[in-house]
Amino acid sequence: MGKKSLVVANWKCNGGIELVQSYLKAFLEIDGADVVVCPPVIFLTQLRALIRKNVSLGAQDLSAFEAGPYTGNISSEMILECGGTWTLIGHSERRALHLESQEEVLQKLQAANRAGLKTILCVGETLADRKSGHAVEKVLGQLDILREANDAALLDNLSIAYEPIWAIGTGETASPSEAQSMHERIREKVSSLGETLGGNLRILYGGSVSAHNCGSFLKEGDIDGVLVGGSCLNVSEFEKIVRICGSR
């Protein structure tokens, strides 16, 4: 059997005790899928009972610093202490709303890796980038930090999520063939960093993923899973996505 599908729930700034309780009752144990649930970090401890062989918890972001006078920051070690073993890094909303630079994204990748967290690096292009023909250039440019890091351990712990920014929360999606084309280029770029890297890398598609469309993405050769936003706030919908991805 090849790589298991990776299915990631990004709650973003949503949820409360009701969503926590519904997740604790959810059935996410599917043999063919690894599942990562990324709630706001204050809910990690309450969700620890979710953790199974194939179900993990993650953060949506982390600090580049290990400790110190950084009000509002959450460190890698704090995430680990609360049961998190994964983190998203460089999500387009962090880049846009918090002006995260490539340098800061790299620092966060390195901080997470030092602590042993598994990382999901988010990359994507705007509608203007796509219309101007610069989508591939923009996305592959966001991967240049991996060459700069020059760290085999960091790459071993890495997955990548491709999210066309124009498809996030809009109901629009890239077509499966458009997504596949970008995923193929991403895998080629990572493969150029080391012979064994690209084949083992899991590359996820994100952007208005639903139970209705996720199966069509997973049929493509270089799409290894999905990063789910709005649909993960409906637990029954997210369970359906996990089942579909687990049976690919």
Which residues are known catalytic residues? 91, 163
* Displacement of CA 70 from its chain's centroid (Å): 25
Identity of the amino acid at 183: H
Name the strand (E) or helix (H) holding 199. helix 197-200
Q: Token pair for residue 135?
A: 């989508």
CB of 190 within 8 A of CB of 147? no
Q: Residue 116: which residues within 8 A CB-CB, separation 6 or more?
A: 80, 85, 157
Q: Residue 179: which residues within 8 A CB-CB, separation 6 or more?
A: 162, 164, 173, 205, 217, 220, 223
d(C-alpha 137, C-alpha 92), whole Å:
16
